Structure 1
Amino acid sequence: MGAPSITSQELNFLVFRYLQESGFTHAAFTLGYEAGINRSNIDGNLIPPGALVTFVQKGLQYIELEANLESNDAAVDSDFSFLQPLDLITKDVPELQQIIKERKEQLQMAKGNDLDSQRGSEKEREKQDKDRDKEMQKEKMDKDCEREKEKDRHHEENKDMAKNREDKTKSKPDENDVRGGSEAMDCTPVSFEIPSSEVTILEGHSSEVFACAWSPAGSLLASGSGDSTARIWTIPDGPCGPNSQITAQSVQVLKHFRGRTNEKSKDVTTLDWNGEGTLLATGSYDGQARVWTKDGELKNTLIKHKGPIFSLKWNKKGDCLLSGSVDKTAIVWDTKTWECKQQFEFHSAPTLDVDWRNNNSFATCSTDSMIYICKIGENRPIKAFSGHQGEVNAIKWDPTGSLLASCSDDGTAKIWSMKQDKCLHDLKEHIKEIYTIRWSPTGQGTNNPNRQLVLASASFDSTIKLWDVERGSLLYSLNGHRQPVYSVAFSPNAEYLASGSLDQCVHIWSMKEGKIVKTYTGGGGIFEVCWNKEGDKLAACFSNSTVCVMDFRM
């Protein structure tokens, strides 16, 4: 006997009756049934196995669609997940609509709670961000305060050293006396006080002015400050005084920061003009060297050092710029390409000073007590000088480049020759740290070839000493200051020496007579003094944010 057969119409009817008896009374199933009947009438075949299921699915989807249609809203919610299959089978459309309404309200409430939770989380994140910003601001303020405290401690230490000077001196010198051998000459600087009416005070910096330098080609004066700026001042011809025409157009402000406010990490620590006076190089605490035109435009920023730059020097030819940094290195920059020509990594501690011997070789000194003579193209020093027992603060070549002078925290100055390893002269008359040294513009290779070559040294013991370089002996001890002397400078004709001290006084000494001939008292400690190329104007920069320019004529 063969397998029983059933037509598609009979099968559709059986399914339809089963659904009706099970409570499926919705018109969707009638539509599905009728569609099946119509289809079976078309093809005359049995309903394929998935066809009836498809009809049932279509009916369920129709119910869902109808239940989700609100009478007052034509929009259709595409999410039919509010209804379960059992609901679709056992409930009519109004009941299903009520279920959907209730579950939508529940969903809205849940979303509201989630939104509140999200807002709460956002508020918490905002609070955390604000707390973090406050913490970062506090850390920055703490760092700034610590930096200021460090500066204050440094100045206090200098003051203490000056105050206790008498306890450590072998014999207390009379004020303003000048000792040469066993002779002493009295000086009375009060009689030669330069009045404020003959001084031009340049205002604009907002922090200590650490460096100043006249352009070799004109009446431009550059200054560098702890306010993260350098300035180029145009000093008018004629006598100095409070009425001197220094206008806003007379000064170019060289900003070492991009924002509206200054950044302490960009303090200008050193500066130097090239030989033509067309370019000014500045070194900053941020480890970058910057090159500016004389009109104040930034030409290049030289980035390679990883620590503050304390010294910058152009060579005489002007094709190389030399920088020394706390990162222990010195770099020679090619001024044609403004790229690093060579980096010298010989020191084991911060490099404090650099100075060219000629266009291709130079000297460096460091807190490691060593002095190295380097040459472009050489991977090792061509000479190494050891002998200092403390940090070497400054080095200077004599006008011929044959003798190198150095000064140190060990209280000595030394003169070195390239012909020998040990120092030529060991100058030991100072009783405290020697901060800086200068050669007189005399002897071979200068405009004063027939005059004796002299070395000046300035110390925290408040004295300046002049040395006979040939003999290595003391010529004069200039004792007019009452606190550490930070700067000395010879006039271009070598007849006078200017000095600046933390005692706020600028003294001008006669080299011929060994005594003070002019003095000026400012409003703060003096970090540097410098002469213009004619030798008729002297500039000094002060800790009270000012730069002063005074005439000098004898």
Structure 2
Amino acid sequence: MGRSQDPAWTKGTVALTAARERGDIDRKFQNDLTVTRSMIDRLGLEKELHGHMGCVNCLEWNYDGSILASASDDLHVILWDPYRYKELHKIATGHTGNIFSVKFVSNDTLATCAADGTVRVRTTAGASLLECSCHCGRVKRLAVPPDNPNLIWSAGEDGVVIQHDLRTSHRCNSVNTNVLVNLIKHLGRYAEAKCVAVNPRRPYQLAVGANDCYARLYDTRMIKLSRGHQTRVPTSQMLFERQNVLCSRAGHGDPDNDVPKAAVQYFAPGQYYS
């Protein structure tokens, strides 16, 4: 007898459904109906796609779901036809460290970031559109607003979120004004930006995760871009600069009010801060 034909199982499901209708929803209800045995029995591995020579750290669908991109410790991005289980392109990114994030900027343009501290944008044909080394730490995540594929936001373990605009030429130097959020000024000198995500319905809203308990939600329309690190330097000097020179105001906020108080909301488990 299948479980759906088991009278006891059916009675229990009816009781849980009635509880939901009454608004009596608790953790037991969620646990009991989130995954059912019949659902598990229907799951199965459809196909394994082989092509990378290292850990696959990130996956991304293109906008219409026709192509799957995978990025790996082998420093390559592979584009797959997920319906024919076929490799379409294998792209050498130029990174020298593990790739942590891959994003479609358009159907034929990809952005990647990696442990080498760089953000790179290139076409599937191999043409380079951007090579940015403004971060001075591992770059963990990228975000692309759906209404403006010319913008890319990158979150790095150097504590900053950088805005990249593909419509303008870029050269990494001390005069760049491309930092959207500098967490060091608010969280302290050991701040690390771990992840970023754009609200697809309100693309001006950018969520940022860091090495603390808060999820920060920024209104990018209210933020003034600021300068970041002076130059990229060797690792030991970079650490000294970050902790002692570049962070003289660590934890004291933006001196020029680059991120107004009204531009950010803080969320933590069971709490909300405006």
Q: State the TM-score, normalizing by the size of structure 2.
A: 0.65
> How far apart are the structure 2 equivalents of 1:299 and 1:252?
14
Question: Amino acid of the residue matched to residue 425 of structure 1?
Answer: N
2:182 alignment counterpart = 428
Gap change, CA 1:322 and 1:306, over 3 Å in 2:
same
Task: Choose which of 375, 378, 393 in structure 1 pairs with 2:123.
Answer: 375
Task: Choose which of 141, 151, 166 in structure 2 pairs with 1:403.
Answer: 151
2:137 alignment counterpart = 390
1:456 alignment counterpart = 207
Contact 1:309 1:325 in 2 (8 A): yes
Task: Choose which of 20, 27, 40 in structure 2 pairs with 1:252.
Answer: 40
2:100 alignment counterpart = 352
Task: Choose which of 239, 259, 262 in structure 2 pairs with 1:474.
Answer: 259
> How far apart are the structure 2 equivalents of 1:480 and 1:414?
22
Deviation at 1:474, TM superposition (A): 1.8
Task: Choose which of 227, 235, 243 in structure 1 pairs with 2:29.
Answer: 243
Deviation at 1:385, TM superposition (A): 2.1
Which aligned pairs between 1:265-344 and structure 2 lie closer than 5 A? 295-344=42-91
Contact 1:361 1:374 in 2 (8 A): yes
Contact 2:216 2:267 in 1 (8 A): no
Deviation at 1:410, TM superposition (A): 0.4
Task: Summarize deviations over 1:120-177 as a string: whole Å, max 9, x none.
Answer: xxxxxxxxxxxxxxxxxxxxxxxxxxxxxxxxxxxxxxxxxxxxxxxxxxxxxxxxxx
Contact 1:324 1:354 in 2 (8 A): yes
Deviation at 1:243, TM superposition (A): 3.1
> How far apart are the structure 2 equivalents of 1:326 and 1:339?
21
SS state at 1:252 partner: helix
SS state at 1:301 partner: coil
Gap change, CA 1:317 and 1:441, over 3 Å in 2:
closer
Gap change, CA 1:465 and 1:336, over 3 Å in 2:
closer
Structure 1 window deviating more from structure 2 (357-366 vs 238-247): it is: 238-247
Deviation at 1:480, TM superposition (A): 5.9
Misfit runs of 4+, over 4 Å? 236-239, 475-481
Gap change, CA 1:425 and 1:465, over 3 Å in 2:
farther
Contact 1:328 1:350 in 2 (8 A): yes
SS state at 2:259 partner: strand
> How far apart are the structure 1 equivalents of 2:135 and 2:76?
20
Contact 1:467 1:475 in 2 (8 A): no
Gap change, CA 1:336 and 1:424, over 3 Å in 2:
farther
Gap change, CA 1:409 and 1:251, over 3 Å in 2:
same
SS state at 2:40 partner: strand
Contact 2:214 2:267 in 1 (8 A): yes
Contact 2:217 2:266 in 1 (8 A): no
Deviation at 1:386, TM superposition (A): 2.1
Contact 1:415 1:424 in 2 (8 A): no
> How far apart are the structure 1 equivalents of 2:267 and 2:165?
32
> How far apart are the structure 2 equivalents of 1:339 and 1:424?
42
Deviation at 1:466, TM superposition (A): 3.7
- Structure 1's unaligned 5+ residue stretches are 1-235, 254-294, 447-452, 482-504, 516-554
Q: Is 1:437 aligned to residue 169 of structure 2? A: no
Deviation at 1:358, TM superposition (A): 2.3
> How far apart are the structure 1 equivalents of 2:206 and 2:266?
16
> How far apart are the structure 2 equivalents of 1:374 and 1:250?
44
Contact 2:183 2:192 in 1 (8 A): no
Gap change, CA 1:323 and 1:506, over 3 Å in 2:
farther
> How far apart are the structure 1 equivalents of 2:141 and 2:101?
5
Deviation at 1:415, TM superposition (A): 0.9
Task: Summarize deviations over 1:483-528 as a string: whole Å, max 9, x none.
Answer: xxxxxxxxxxxxxxxxxxxxxx355x4xxxx54xxxxxxxxxxxxx
> How far apart are the structure 2 equivalents of 1:419 and 1:304?
33
Gap change, CA 1:358 and 1:379, over 3 Å in 2:
closer
- Structure 2's unaligned 5+ residue stretches are 1-16, 225-257
Question: Amino acid of the residue matched to residue 349 of structure 1?
Answer: G
SS state at 1:388 partner: coil
> How far apart are the structure 1 equivalents of 2:216 and 2:259?
7
Deviation at 1:479, TM superposition (A): 5.4
Q: Is 1:418 aligned to residue 135 of structure 2? A: no
> How far apart are the structure 1 equivalents of 2:270 and 2:59?
25
Task: Summarize deviations over 1:441-469 as a string: whole Å, max 9, x none.
Answer: 345xx7xxxxxx12221211444444342
> How far apart are the structure 1 equivalents of 2:62 and 2:267?
35
> How far apart are the structure 2 equivalents of 1:321 and 1:297?
19
Deviation at 1:362, TM superposition (A): 1.8
Contact 1:468 1:475 in 2 (8 A): no
SS state at 1:243 partner: helix
SS state at 2:128 partner: coil
The Cα RMSD (Å) is: 2.6
Determine what percentage of the aligned residue pairs are the same residue: 19
> How far apart are the structure 2 equivalents of 1:319 and 1:406?
25
Question: Amino acid of the residue matched to residue 178 of structure 2?
Answer: H
Which aligned pairs between 1:125-204 and structure 2 lie closer than 5 A? none
Gap change, CA 1:434 and 1:243, over 3 Å in 2:
same
Aligned length: 202
SS state at 1:349 partner: coil
